[in-house]
Amino acid sequence: MYQKDFILRMMEMMAEMIAIFLGLIKKGDTEQAARCLDKAYRDILKQDAAFFQKIPTTELTRQLIEEHHYTNGHLKILSELFFAEGELRRAQKKDPKAYEFYKKALILFEFVEKEAATFSLEREERGWLLKNRLEELKLKDTTK
């Protein structure tokens, strides 16, 4: 029970941080948004953002679960942080990096969704948003 409560509190804290973060991006303050995001990685998952960025996409779930003992709650949080990172990179016009983060977010999101026992319209919308972001960046890359 303790771990479930802890994860729920972390998810609430993360939602607040991401709302602030997305507000900063909307205002065009990407430097402050980047600092806010780095702080979120450290405060919520107790790791530097670079730690997660170094994990190859193909090894993401395996390493996090087997080597670092992350739970589905941790993976859900990390998926949201990767999504936020994708939004930041997109705002900075760094589309290849944005694509990479959206891809990692989708991998974690789909992994957690397979484990979920219930349907959620909110989660369904998040999945579509991630897929749309990836498709937008793919199309943008092919039109260059």
Give the tens place of pLDDT for each residue, 39-92: 889 888 889 999 999 999 999 999 999 999 998 888 988 999 999 999 999 999
Sign of the alpha-carbon dihedral angle for 11, 92, 59, 35: negative
For residue 4, what pLDDT band results from cuts at 50, 70 and 90? Answer: low
Average pLDDT (4-15) is 73
Residue-level pLDDT at 64: 93
Q: Which of 47, 46, 72, 77 is nearest to 61 (CA)?
A: 72
Average pLDDT (27-40) is 91
Contact between residue 14 and residue 79 where contact means Cβ atoms under 8 Å apart: no
The answer, yes or no, to whether residue 7 has pLDDT greater than 80, is: no
C-alpha to C-alpha distance for 135 and 36, rounded to whole angstroms? 27
Give the tens place of pLDDT for each residue, 85-114: 999 999 999 999 999 999 999 999 999 988
Contact between residue 124 and residue 112 where contact means Cβ atoms under 8 Å apart: no
For residue 122, what pLDDT band results from cuts at 50, 70 and 90? Answer: confident
For residue 142, what pLDDT band results from cuts at 50, 70 and 90? Answer: low
Domain ranges of the chain: 2-142
C-alpha to C-alpha distance for 108 and 80, rounded to whole angstroms? 9
Cβ burial, residue 63 (10 Å; 0-12/13-18/19+): middle
Residue-level pLDDT at 121: 75
